[in-house]
A and B are shown apart, each in its own frame.
Chain A
């Protein structure tokens, strides 16, 4: 019996150690998916799985770690935000990505949206115009190990001609016009999703569809992006 006690204690310590090495944010992520996304009626399985898998806390500034899974957008510097989890999920689900799809993202920002897309599809191309954001996102995505995301520092206006056409285009920053090259680079039958409006405003998402050479739009939902706190 005397021999067994240290053994049991050792086992408990080892077990606790293993538990602590597990992703401590897994539970929060699960809660996020259940309460913020599923409860709002979103049921696209691939999207939900991706949202469960991608460690959102690695995409927010360190001082906001505690708020990473809050139901709101967070500032990431340069006047930009990482979108509210539900919006990321909604934008992902609406373009219905599938394995093998080629997706272009305009406005990498933190890299979170690209990471979610990369969980579902094989190749994600993302462009960022702000150098500071580009460098951080590039390092981050490579450190986490997303090998199917290609990122470049460029003006998103021109899209990514060499890899066009794309099955879907996700524009993460609102724009008062849609650059013609992006429409050209969208495959016939492809979808483009764009948030309309800027922080602090009641917003909507715009779905642009190209079919038989004609481009149509649909206004999808009311959205609001409110930065939570200042970026450092």
Chain B
């Protein structure tokens, strides 16, 4: 029993540590680099399996000492990895990795630093599994329950502590686990070591290591400004939020060149070190007046809205502009409570409006979920400015942006009053991608709604760096006011109802000479040929493929490479590039380490092919299902953190119970086949029925929806917890020496499956990930039939 508790505790610590370093890497680097580092580090699980395959006899023989030793050692590595990764000698800068060999070397050291806690912790779990292979159901249960607990507790800790403090709270659990199973003869020595560990944990809790974000991140650059200081530093599962004040900090996105007043000094908000908005700090309405000199002001030139809905209002700008126009009723939605709090406090303290509660109502919810729940109508729905100034470098390519899918625009359209409009702005990027994709989405929506002359419903103007689109429900808005506005602001009209744009003498000449032609092509009744032939993917995003910022087309890579040079290419779509790189790296490492024991140790077993397919298949299938379920629950639960926590922890919990119950099943090829077939059947059920179930229950309270989530994931997770212990139990009778290798393969494929699922989702949609998961389970069940009982 003690061993089970110890394994549960180290499992909880490992999951917690994984979540923490993901957050730290998101802050100090790009979060996609975090994704890559953590994936490689997670291979520690597989590597532990490989090492155990090679040294099984010795490790198991001395397990009484080695097991607690490894658990305690893993705890130490967890405590030290974060401060070590911030040491100048090791600290890499993701912005330089593509061009500097020194940085590549540092990246390698970072891998190693983060790898060690996984490797040592996983090795302890592996040894335990080998020892308990006859009662693996119970052993696996303790591992899964521990992991579930770690996954559930850590997001809550993130509300209270900085990420670098959290290991100091979680790691003592591992120390306790280690001491619990330490043999008497070693208790004094191990006890002293653990005491040292506790002291270290207390030290890091009181004096957390300083995180050093890349010098090229927005936050670092802003802190370099004169008299800049951080006024707020708070953590949450949504990321670390900083507010910086400096007397020279000004933010006026896309300001007209005709504006002659002073741009007010403001504070800037950063999420994970990236600029996410600004706070206008004075109490006078004048401080927001400059926003009328941006293209964002277009809807207020065209309409006189009474009710305005602002999506992702935490960005700030749109809310301040609406307030400046003295809109009667503003509904502001954002899912990050920390940022929303900062904005609300700023508005209240700044007395921008006398009684904000009467004018603005704030909703802390995923905007799409708000759209689905809310029954009101609006005169204007405003989306946040897409992308970022100077282009995003494709950093968001693998982000799921449900707010910008065709389904989302459809819901917004249905919420508009008869004279209402949807407004969306973006930066003018080079080469053109965002503006064209937005237009394609609006045109597609118009066609879907049976609008014959889309020209009568879309208005668009551009400045030197921003472009704003307005989709109006009422056709034929009068253009004279817009033209006047453009003339005054030095803006150029792009699309006006029934007005042919004279592009001969624009205020802002752009290099894409064909810009206006592209606009016309997209506005045409049939734009499919153009969308297909354009060098970038500018077809509208959908809920199935919600990657609005993913533009790269495989077939045009050679052309882009020729035009912009090979070194530029990764920066076109760095997010996607990272996923591909991660998949490549993890695949190579996994393959080498899977083959290692075969070559070195010449593992003797008749079931090697079965082991690869079976343990690889269930590792891959499990993660695919988990990824799709998280994706489905984001919109349903209205919060990405709740969705991830509920699905991951719920699946681990029910799988743990399934694993425990698997002890009662006699392991035969038939029983294994049957369970895998049940999983396949349940997955088919989910594929067919999940969308209607979620839609039916969408309007209910969060508590009720959490119950619905668990009801959906419980049966399939319960059965998905069985194949692993059943497989190990089978091996314990037939080929015990292969158990660590099988466990390692399971670990490798679990890691490889994450980037693989992302690529499939981007290319073909999430339903394909689920279909492939079902197929993998089906193939694995058939492979199981080959077993001899």
Binding site for B on A (CB under 8 A): 72, 75, 77-79, 129-131, 155, 157, 174, 176-180, 183-184, 196-204, 206, 208, 214-222, 224, 226-231
Give the CA-CA distance A203 to B431 in the complex, in Å. 9
Nearest to B574 among chain A residues (CB) is: A200
Give the CA-CA distance A216 to B492 in the complex, in Å. 11
Give the CA-CA distance A178 to B463 in the complex, in Å. 12
Could you tell me which residues of chain B, from 402 to 430, have a CB within 8 Å of some CB in chain A? 428, 430
Residue of B428, B465, B565 with most partner-chain A CB within 10 A: B465
Contact residues in B for A204 (Cβ distance below 8 Å): 430, 511
Extra A-B contacts (8), CB below 8 Å, given A79-B221, A197-B391: A79-B217, A174-B389, A184-B260, A197-B389, A208-B257, A215-B258, A220-B511, A226-B99
Binding site for A on B (CB under 8 A): 93, 95-96, 98-100, 102-103, 215-217, 220-221, 224-226, 247-248, 250-255, 257-263, 389-393, 428, 430-431, 464-465, 490, 506-511, 564-565, 567-568, 571-572, 574
The answer, among A131, A178, A200, A231, for a CB contact under 8 Å with B255, is: A178
Q: Determine whether the beta carbon of A201 is less than 8 Å from that of B571.
A: yes
Q: Determine whether the beta carbon of A228 is less than 8 Å from that of B99.
A: yes
Contact residues in B for A177 (Cβ distance below 8 Å): 250-255, 263
Contact residues in B for A206 (Cβ distance below 8 Å): 464-465
Q: Determine whether the beta carbon of B393 is less than 8 Å from that of A201.
A: yes
Give the CA-CA distance A176 to B275 in the complex, in Å. 12
Check A231/B215 contact, CB under 8 A, given A196-B465, A200-B574, A217-B464.
Answer: yes
Instruction: With both chains docked as a complex, state the minimum distance between the C-beta of A5 and any C-beta of chain B, in angstroms.
Output: 49
Q: Determine whether the beta carbon of A79 is less than 8 Å from that of B216.
A: yes
Q: Determine whether the beta carbon of A202 is less than 8 Å from that of B431.
A: yes
Q: Determine whether the beta carbon of B568 is less than 8 Å from that of A176.
A: no
Can you show 22 pairs from A to B with CB atoms below 8 A apart? A78-B215, A129-B248, A130-B224, A155-B247, A174-B389, A174-B390, A176-B251, A177-B253, A177-B255, A179-B250, A180-B259, A197-B391, A198-B216, A201-B390, A208-B257, A215-B490, A217-B508, A222-B430, A222-B564, A227-B95, A227-B99, A228-B96
Q: Determine whether the beta carbon of B226 is less than 8 Å from that of A218.
A: no
The answer, among A157, A198, A216, for a CB contact under 8 Å with B390, is: A198
Q: Determine whether the beta carbon of A200 is less than 8 Å from that of B100.
A: no
Check A217/B507 contact, CB under 8 A, given A229-B103, A231-B215.
Answer: yes
Instruction: With both chains docked as a complex, state the minimum distance between the C-beta of B756 and any C-beta of chain A, in angstroms.
Output: 26
Give the CA-CA distance A226 to B389 in the complex, in Å. 17
Give the CA-CA distance A132 to B251 in the complex, in Å. 23
Contact residues in A for B98 (Cβ distance below 8 Å): 226
Q: Determine whether the beta carbon of B507 is less than 8 Å from that of A216.
A: yes
Instruction: With both chains docked as a complex, state the minimum distance between the C-beta of A171 and any C-beta of chain B, in angstroms.
Output: 13
Give the CA-CA distance A178 to B259 in the complex, in Å. 10
Q: Determine whether the beta carbon of A131 is less than 8 Å from that of B220.
A: no
Give the CA-CA distance A200 to B254 in the complex, in Å. 21
Give the CA-CA distance A181 to B405 in the complex, in Å. 41
Nearest to A228 among chain B residues (CB) is: B99
Q: Determine whether the beta carbon of B216 is less than 8 Å from that of A216.
A: no
Q: What number of residue pairs across chains A and B have CB atoms under 8 A from each other?
A: 155
Residue of B221, B254, B431 with most partner-chain A CB within 10 A: B221
Nearest to A195 among chain B residues (CB) is: B390
Contact residues in B for A180 (Cβ distance below 8 Å): 255, 259-263
Residue of A77, A78, A178, A206 with most partner-chain B CB within 10 A: A178
Instruction: With both chains docked as a complex, state the minimum distance between the C-beta of B26 and any C-beta of chain A, in angstroms.
Output: 17
Give the CA-CA distance A219 to B389 in the complex, in Å. 15
Nearest to B560 among chain A residues (CB) is: A202
Check A202/B391 contact, CB under 8 A, given A78-B224, A155-B226, A196-B465.
Answer: yes
Q: Determine whether the beta carbon of B252 is less than 8 Å from that of A176.
A: yes
Give the CA-CA distance A79 to B98 in the complex, in Å. 17
Instruction: With both chains docked as a complex, state the minimum distance between the C-beta of A79 and any C-beta of chain B, in angstroms.
Output: 4
Instruction: Give 9 nearest A-B pairs by CB, closest first.
Output: A197-B390, A177-B255, A229-B100, A177-B252, A217-B464, A215-B257, A218-B509, A176-B389, A79-B215
Contact residues in A for B224 (Cβ distance below 8 Å): 78-79, 130
Contact residues in B for A217 (Cβ distance below 8 Å): 257, 464, 507-509
Contact residues in B for A228 (Cβ distance below 8 Å): 96, 99-100
Q: Determine whether the beta carbon of A224 is less than 8 Å from that of B250.
A: no
Contact residues in A for B464 (Cβ distance below 8 Å): 178, 206, 208, 217, 219
Contact residues in A for B465 (Cβ distance below 8 Å): 176, 196, 206
Contact residues in B for A224 (Cβ distance below 8 Å): 564-565, 567-568, 571
Nearest to B98 among chain A residues (CB) is: A226
Contact residues in B for A178 (Cβ distance below 8 Å): 255, 257, 464
Give the CA-CA distance A228 to B97 in the complex, in Å. 9
Instruction: With both chains docked as a complex, state the minimum distance between the C-beta of A207 and any C-beta of chain B, in angstroms.
Output: 9
Check A216/B508 contact, CB under 8 A, given A176-B465, A183-B257, A222-B564.
Answer: yes
Give the CA-CA distance A26 to B492 in the complex, in Å. 47
The answer, among A131, A157, A174, for a CB contact under 8 Å with B250, is: A157
Check A202/B572 contact, CB under 8 A, given A129-B225, A177-B253, A177-B255.
Answer: yes
Give the CA-CA distance A73 to B506 in the complex, in Å. 33
Give the CA-CA distance A40 to B263 in the complex, in Å. 39
Contact residues in A for B572 (Cβ distance below 8 Å): 202
Give the CA-CA distance A204 to B512 in the complex, in Å. 11
Q: Determine whether the beta carbon of B568 is less than 8 Å from that of A230.
A: no
Contact residues in B for A219 (Cβ distance below 8 Å): 428, 430, 464, 508-511
Contact residues in A for B508 (Cβ distance below 8 Å): 216-219
The answer, among A197, A208, A226, A231, for a CB contact under 8 Å with B567, is: A226
Contact residues in B for A197 (Cβ distance below 8 Å): 389-391, 430
Instruction: With both chains docked as a complex, state the minimum distance between the C-beta of B487 and any C-beta of chain A, in angstroms.
Output: 10
Contact residues in B for A229 (Cβ distance below 8 Å): 96, 99-100, 102-103
Contact residues in B for A155 (Cβ distance below 8 Å): 226, 247-248
Give the CA-CA distance A129 to B228 in the complex, in Å. 12
Contact residues in A for B260 (Cβ distance below 8 Å): 180, 184
Contact residues in B for A222 (Cβ distance below 8 Å): 430-431, 511, 564
Instruction: With both chains docked as a complex, state the minimum distance between the C-beta of A179 and any C-beta of chain B, in angstroms.
Output: 7
Give the CA-CA distance A181 to B60 in the complex, in Å. 75
Contact residues in A for B574 (Cβ distance below 8 Å): 200
Contact residues in A for B568 (Cβ distance below 8 Å): 202, 224, 226
Give the CA-CA distance A199 to B261 in the complex, in Å. 30
Give the CA-CA distance A203 to B510 in the complex, in Å. 13
Give the CA-CA distance A231 to B216 in the complex, in Å. 11
Give the CA-CA distance A230 to B214 in the complex, in Å. 10
Contact residues in B for A200 (Cβ distance below 8 Å): 95, 216, 393, 571, 574
Check A199/B95 contact, CB under 8 A, given A129-B226, A155-B226, A218-B509.
Answer: yes
Contact residues in A for B250 (Cβ distance below 8 Å): 157, 177, 179
Check A179/B430 contact, CB under 8 A, given A202-B391, A221-B511, A229-B99.
Answer: no
Contact residues in A for B252 (Cβ distance below 8 Å): 176-177
Instruction: With both chains docked as a complex, state the minimum distance between the C-beta of B211 and any C-beta of chain A, in angstroms.
Output: 16
Nearest to A156 among chain B residues (CB) is: B248
Instruction: With both chains docked as a complex, state the minimum distance between the C-beta of B489 and any C-beta of chain A, in angstroms.
Output: 11
Give the CA-CA distance A222 to B432 in the complex, in Å. 12
Contact residues in A for B215 (Cβ distance below 8 Å): 75, 77-79, 230-231
Contact residues in B for A227 (Cβ distance below 8 Å): 95-96, 99, 216
